[in-house]
Structure formats: structure tokens, C-alpha cells
Chain A
Amino acid sequence: MDIILSSISQGLLWSVMAIGVYLTFRILDIADMTAEGSYPLGAAVCATGIVNGLNPLLATFLAMIAGMGAGLISGLLHTKLKIPALLTGIVTLTGLYSINLKILGKANVALLKQETLVTQLQDFGLAKTNAVLVIGIIFVLAVVGVLTLLLNTQIGLAIRSTGDNIPMSEANGINVDRMKIYGYMISNGLIALCGALLTQNNGYADLNSGTGTIVIGLASVIIAEVILRNLRLGWRLLSVVLGAVVYRLIILAILEIPGMDADLVKLFSAILLATVLYVPELQKKLNIRRPKLNGHA
């Protein structure tokens, strides 16, 4: 049970990233690769801050602001230099590698003996998993709450309409470019926040930790859409949280298969993911066939 709780706690932390990915992927309709750079950026800023004696909470917020900076750069590259979205992400991601290395000073910074948000809660007598659960719940609720409010303001609605229909939004006097930049900033701020939270959970910040994170984010978003459709915004964001947790549990289930060949874990993850993603299509097929069967009966 411990290990399941731990996976859920990690899923909660990852869900902050998934929400960030959701913002650009679904609301702004951009596949943003900046994520793989802003995630380690958040980890790097937070870890370096903590090692230099900064309050962990402050370091975490600083990480989020750094992420928003990365988002701003991607946003400007995309809207002002008219670089296609996918390439924009790759450009920023490439540049962030050097910046992250400079911030960290070396490839791997250990936090094992430092005071972090996790150890602060542990000092109250909480076990590590519970401490992470508490942190996860607090941050997820805060993020979902603030975002729901934000996306229902006039600017928020403009951001959403930009994602839905650019010509129509422009026709209604929305500054589409500015909305995209806001979207990039919020999204990457959240992803860096996720990096900051996870680095405190992991006990180290590593330059390579961004690799594959976009897959985790996208998988969480899509799992959320497979299991719950047509929700209102606030619930939709919470469903993404559920998606992130389910994704961690899927990974755990694969790792827990007795006698699993360690080399095949990734292949099985891919197969299971494909299966989950096939569910909506399967549902459609079943729905079409049902009336026919009834007709014959």
C-alpha cells in the first residue's frame, strides 16, 4: 500500500506539469516542447536556491518565475519571429540546456542533506510519502483554483478563444499574439514549478531529468480525456490531475509484474499506453454495434 500511496503522491506532483502541458496543448492548440527544458530549469533554480540557503518555498516560487521566463522566450520566438510552434519549443529547449547547466554549476546537485519543503513537513512528524501527498494536494488545489479563476477572467477567456479559433478571436479584437505569450508563460511556469517540487521529492536536481517529461504530461492529459469527457474547465483541470495519477499507477503496475524483464519495461509502458488511448475508439465501435444487435433480437 505504501508504494501505491507513493505513486499517487508522485502523480500529484507530476499533475502540475500535466496541467501546464494541457494549457498549451489543448487550450492554445500548440505542442510545446519547451517543457523538457523548463522542467529541469525549475529543478535547477530551486535546487541552487536551496543549496545557497534560500527558503524552500521561496526557491520553489523563484523556479516558477524562471519557468515563466522560459515561456516568455518561447512565446516571443513563436509570435514575433513566426517560428513554428514545434520548432520554437526545440529552440528554447536547446538553449535552456546551457542555462540549466550554468544555474546548477554542475550536472547533478544533491539535496539529500538540505532543508526542503518535504523535510520541513517531515519535521512535523509526517512520513515522507504523507509529506509529499500533503504538498501535492496543497499545490494542486492552489494551481487548479487560481487557474480556474484566471481562465474565467476577460484575459482568460481571450486565451481560451485564441486556442479555439484564431481568425474569429482576431475579428473580435483580441490580441492573439499576446494571449499565446500569456499561455506559454503560465504553462511553462507550472512545468518549472513541477520540476521544483519533484527535485525536492527526489533529493537531487539532474541536468538530464527533462528527457521524456513531455510524454508524461501528454499521456496524463490524454488519459484524462479518455476517462472523462466534456467537463467544465475546473473539473477538466482536476481530471488532468487524475490522469497524471493514473499514469503513475500504470507505470507502477508494469514495474510490479512479477519476473518482468527489466529491458522490456519501456515496451510494455508503450503497449499499455496505446491500449488506454484506444479505449475511446473502442467505445465508439461498441456504441455503433449495439443497435444492430438489438435489431436482430
Chain B
Amino acid sequence: MMKTKFMKKIAAISLVSVGILTLVACSSASSDKSSSETVKVGILQYMEHESLTAAREGFVAELEANGYKEGEKLVLDYQNAQGDQANLQTISEQLIDGNDIVLAIATPAAQSLATVSTETPILFTAVTDPLSADLVESIEKPGGLLTGTSDQAPIDKQVELLGQAVPDAKTVGILYTTSERNSEVQVEQAKELFEKAGYKVVVKGITSTNEVQDATTSLMKDVDAIFVPTDNTIASTMTMIGELSVEHQIPVIGGSTDMVDEGGLLTYGTNYEALGRQTAKMAIKIIEGADVSETAVEYPETVSLHINEDIAKQLGIDTSKLSISE
């Protein structure tokens, strides 16, 4: 009796496994590489995030503007890992398997694709420091299967702007998420630059969105202005930071343009939509035959002063005299 039950179970498992395997096999067979005129582009976005999405949309729009319209000359395969690192590898393998070129949005996506690809070129964007992430050998000559765009904007300009917007500031607070490598890179630079400009710097790290309110409130008691890097977690809570900024009359500068729109005072930052477009131009070069290992990593072309006039008015700051030295 026990034995037959056991056998039945074994049969059931085999059936389920075969079912899953067939399903998987069928769908992977249908995504075989084709040799026709169409170009297959895969996109792996690490998580749901306004700036990352803007970069993706810019990328797709620029491809279309250059004759690679989805459904005609282009087959797009878009995947979003939803911040789940356990699934990154499987998604990466799928994308590498069925595409001619893959776009990685944010650092973990690029690292994951890099371990999987043996010949498919990978473009990355919204990666702050491709060197420390081991994605390329050097900025000028990547030397492997990866190249792309960094989203790092010059921080010295932010320091200069803060001096103009809040002339009597003495202490600057820096708020960032300790688990984000991209932020750490910027924070190290910012701390050095602010100290060199004669400010006292207070750095505060958070670990999740839940801590933002307390951390910001306590930081605002001690400082005259706050600098934030392009930090994914901070970006998600900019509306709240903006409210606190007005309540405590402490301006928040830095971050992406999207972050400023939601509650920052100003930034001299990267436009992610434009960054996506810039990456698409690199993609087209590679699709048309350029060598990835020889295509230099690019820094954002479209960096501009972005002011949230509404916040400026509420903080009583005159933004008309702000200017950037070239």
C-alpha cells in the first residue's frame, strides 16, 4: 500500500516537472535568434523607479527616432527585476539568450548581465561608477562586452550653487542610503568638496524609506542646508523630504531633476530621459558594427540647472541670480 502511494507520488512529480520543463522549453524555443533584418533589443531594469523609467523611455524613443521602431525593425524584450536580486540571473540569461544587444538599467542589472554574457554586447545606463563596479577596465577603453553611460553629474557645481542659494550656510547635511553603492560614491566626493569649500559636514545614512522622516527631521535641526545624491531610496521619499524642508525652512539640493520636482530646491543634474537617448545613440553605433570594447563610456551630455520655483518661493530664496561658472 505504502509503496503504491509512493509510486503515485513519484509519477505525479514527474508529470509536474515534465509539464514545467515543456512549458519552459516551448517558450524558449520560440525566442530563438533570427537572422532577418529586425534587431532584438533586451532591456533589464533593476527596479521600479522614476529616473530609471525615464532613462528607459528615452532609450526606446531615441531608437524609434532613428528608424528602429518597435514592431518594424525592432523587437523589444523589456524585463523589470522589481528589485529582486534572486531573480536577476534567470532574467539576465533569458535576455542574453534571445537578443542581439541588451540594455542594463542600474548597477545590479549590469553586473548580473555581465556574469552571464559570453558574446552579447551589453549597454548600461544610470550606473554611477562603472569602474568600481568592475563593469569596464577603463572609461576610454572598456575592453569587454560592456559600455554605456554613467549618470554622475559634476558635484563641484552643486557646491557652488548651494553657496549662491544659501549664502549664510555654515553646516551642510548629507543624507543617503547606506545600501546604495551609487550614493556612497557621490557622498564621498561631496563630503570632500563641501569641506574644501569651508563647510562643516554632517553625513547621515539611512537603511530604508521608513527611516527617512526621522533622519531628515533630526538632520534639519543641526544643519543650514541638505545635499542629497541621486539615491533611489531618497528619491522615493522626496515628497516627504520636501514638506519637511518647507516646515523647517532648510533647503534640499542635489539629486536628479525628478527628485527636485518632487520637493528639492535645485540641482545641477542629469536628465535621465536625455541620458537614455544618449545611450540609445551608442546602442545604434554598436548595432551597426562598432566594437563594444573600444566604445568609451560616456558621461551625461545633458546636465542642467534645474530649479523648483514653488519650493524656492516657500523658502524665500531668490533664484534669479543663480548661475554656473563654465
**Which of chain A's residues has its CB closest to B91's CB?**
A255
Chain A residues whose C-beta falls within 8 Å of the C-beta of B308 in the assembled complex: none
Taking residues whose C-beta sits less than 8 angstroms from the other chain, chain A's interface range is: 35 or more
B107, A252: Cβ atoms closer than 8 Å = no
Report the Cα distance A242→B94, complex, angstroms.
23
Does A6 have its Cβ within 8 Å of any Cβ on chain B?
yes
Report the Cα distance A266→B87, complex, angstroms.
10
A107, B24: Cβ atoms closer than 8 Å = no
A206, B108: Cβ atoms closer than 8 Å = yes
Does A265 have its Cβ within 8 Å of any Cβ on chain B?
yes
Chain B residues whose C-beta falls within 8 Å of the C-beta of A110 in the assembled complex: 111, 132-135
B112, A228: Cβ atoms closer than 8 Å = no
Does A7 have its Cβ within 8 Å of any Cβ on chain B?
yes
Chain B residues whose C-beta falls within 8 Å of the C-beta of A108 in the assembled complex: 107-108, 111, 133, 181
Contact with A along B72-87 (1 / 0, CB 8 A): 0000001110111111
B85, A112: Cβ atoms closer than 8 Å = no
Does A251 have its Cβ within 8 Å of any Cβ on chain B?
yes
Does A250 have its Cβ within 8 Å of any Cβ on chain B?
yes
B27, A213: Cβ atoms closer than 8 Å = no
Contact with B along A201-226 (1 / 0, CB 8 A): 11110111101110010000000000
A258, B90: Cβ atoms closer than 8 Å = no
Q: How far is the CB of B152 from chain A (nearest CB, A)?
A: 16
B111, A204: Cβ atoms closer than 8 Å = yes
Q: How far is the CB of B71 from chain A (nearest CB, A)?
A: 13
A3, B85: Cβ atoms closer than 8 Å = no
A255, B132: Cβ atoms closer than 8 Å = no
Contact with B along A148-192 (1 / 0, CB 8 A): 000000000000000000000000000000000000000000000
A112-B91 in contact given A106-B181, A213-B86, A227-B12 (Cβ < 8 Å): no
Does B1 have its Cβ within 8 Å of any Cβ on chain A?
no
**Which of chain A's residues has its CB closest to B79's CB?**
A262
Q: How far is the CB of B135 from chain A (nearest CB, A)?
A: 8
Report the Cα distance A229→B12, complex, angstroms.
13
Does A101 have its Cβ within 8 Å of any Cβ on chain B?
yes
Does A281 have its Cβ within 8 Å of any Cβ on chain B?
no
Which residues of B (140-197) have their CB < 8 Å from a CB of A?
Answer: 178-181, 183-184
Chain A residues whose C-beta falls within 8 Å of the C-beta of B12 in the assembled complex: 227
B82, A265: Cβ atoms closer than 8 Å = yes
**Which of chain B's residues has its CB closest to A247's CB?**
B86
Report the Cα distance A73→B82, complex, angstroms.
32
A4, B24: Cβ atoms closer than 8 Å = yes
Report the Cα distance A208→B27, complex, angstroms.
31
Q: Most chain-A CB neighbours within 10 Å: which of B28, B86, B91, B134?
A: B86
Does A249 have its Cβ within 8 Å of any Cβ on chain B?
yes
Does A248 have its Cβ within 8 Å of any Cβ on chain B?
yes
**Which of chain B's residues has its CB closest to A269's CB?**
B87
Does B293 have its Cβ within 8 Å of any Cβ on chain A?
no
Q: How far is the CB of B117 from chain A (nearest CB, A)?
A: 11
Q: Most chain-B CB neighbours within 10 Å: which of A249, A252, A255?
A: A252
Contact with B along A1-42 (1 / 0, CB 8 A): 111101100100010000000000000000000000000000
A212-B24 in contact given A101-B179, A203-B112 (Cβ < 8 Å): no
Does A257 have its Cβ within 8 Å of any Cβ on chain B?
yes
A208, B24: Cβ atoms closer than 8 Å = no
Q: How far is the CB of B97 from chain A (nearest CB, A)?
A: 6
B86, A212: Cβ atoms closer than 8 Å = yes
Chain B residues whose C-beta falls within 8 Å of the C-beta of A249 in the assembled complex: 17, 20-21, 24
**Which of chain B's residues has its CB closest to A114's CB?**
B134
User: Which of B9, B90, B112 is A7 in contact with, Cβ under 8 Å?
Assistant: B90
A112, B115: Cβ atoms closer than 8 Å = yes
A203-B114 in contact given A4-B25, A208-B179 (Cβ < 8 Å): yes
Chain B residues whose C-beta falls within 8 Å of the C-beta of A113 in the assembled complex: 134
Report the Cα distance A249→B23, complex, angstroms.
10
A228, B13: Cβ atoms closer than 8 Å = yes
Does A263 have its Cβ within 8 Å of any Cβ on chain B?
yes
Report the Cα distance A204→B85, complex, angstroms.
11
Q: How far is the CB of A159 from chain B (nearest CB, A)?
A: 27
Does A256 have its Cβ within 8 Å of any Cβ on chain B?
yes
B20, A263: Cβ atoms closer than 8 Å = no
Report the Cα distance A228→B13, complex, angstroms.
9
Query: Which 9 A-B pairs give the minimum distances between C-beta atoms?
Result: A110-B134, A203-B115, A262-B80, A108-B181, A256-B27, A112-B134, A207-B179, A107-B181, A204-B111
Q: List 29 A-B contacts (CB under 8 A).
A: A2-B97, A3-B24, A3-B97, A4-B25, A4-B28, A6-B89, A106-B184, A107-B179, A108-B181, A110-B133, A128-B116, A202-B88, A202-B89, A203-B112, A204-B111, A204-B112, A207-B179, A208-B179, A209-B85, A211-B83, A213-B86, A246-B17, A249-B24, A255-B87, A255-B90, A257-B27, A258-B31, A263-B82, A265-B87
